[in-house]
């Protein structure tokens, strides 16, 4: 069962996954993601800490050939920081936040035979989200705080880019 609204239970130190653990853990994560979808809470990624397992493994299921298993994975490089609008999390149902993410990442899965991969677009966003879970970083931690004051077009952008709002997040 997916842990919901329990930050203490989600903030666990994860241990690396051993080769013989990968198959059973991926299967368990897939079953939980499928069950959540059947219960009306569809998701596209799930990390082991979200189901009470303190292991460095997560899955991303965007459909078809766009599926990844993140095993002892680390991000090496990140490119093109953006404000991502409308990020959600199965562990915080109904909570939708704006976050700062990278449009492209270069990551390394570390198991017996490490391999690197490049992910872009939605795959990059979901990988960052799931890897955050493995590092005890939760959606409320990275949510951009909404400011109630009015932002002018020539004011610095609220995302922290140091670019004028009209040329950054204020672009229509």
- Catalytically active residues are 130
- HSE-up (13 A, CA, CB side) for residue 85: 3
d(CA 105, CA 108) in angstroms, rounded, equals 10
d(CA 118, CA 121) in angstroms, rounded, equals 10
- HSE-up (13 A, CA, CB side) for residue 34: 7
Strand order across the 74-87 sheet: 74-87, 97-109, 115-120
d(CA 18, CA 156) in angstroms, rounded, equals 47
d(CA 132, CA 97) in angstroms, rounded, equals 15
Strand order across the 57-61 sheet: 45-47, 57-61, 67-71
d(CA 84, CA 101) in angstroms, rounded, equals 6
């Amino acid at each position: 069962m997916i842990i919901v609204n329990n930050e203490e239970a989600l903030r666990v130190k994860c241990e690396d996954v051993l080769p013989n653990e990968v198959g059973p853990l991926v299967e368990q994560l897939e079953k939980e993601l499928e069950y959540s979808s059947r219960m009306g809470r569809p998701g596209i990624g799930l990390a082991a800490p979200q189901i009470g397992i303190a292991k460095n493994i997560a899955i991303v299921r965007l459909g078809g050939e766009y599926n990844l298993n993140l095993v002892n994975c680390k991000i090496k490089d990140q490119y093109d920081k953006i404000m991502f609008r409308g990020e959600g999390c199965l562990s915080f149902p109904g909570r939708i936040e704006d976050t700062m993410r990278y449009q492209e990442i270069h990551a390394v899965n570390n198991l017996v035979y490490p391999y690197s991969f490049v992910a872009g677009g939605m795959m990059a966003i979901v990988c960052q989200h799931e890897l955050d879970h493995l590092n005890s970083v939760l959606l409320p931690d990275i949510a951009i705080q909404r400011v109630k004051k009015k932002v002018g077009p020539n004011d610095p952008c609220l995302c922290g880019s140091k670019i004028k709002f009209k040329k950054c997040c204020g672009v229509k």
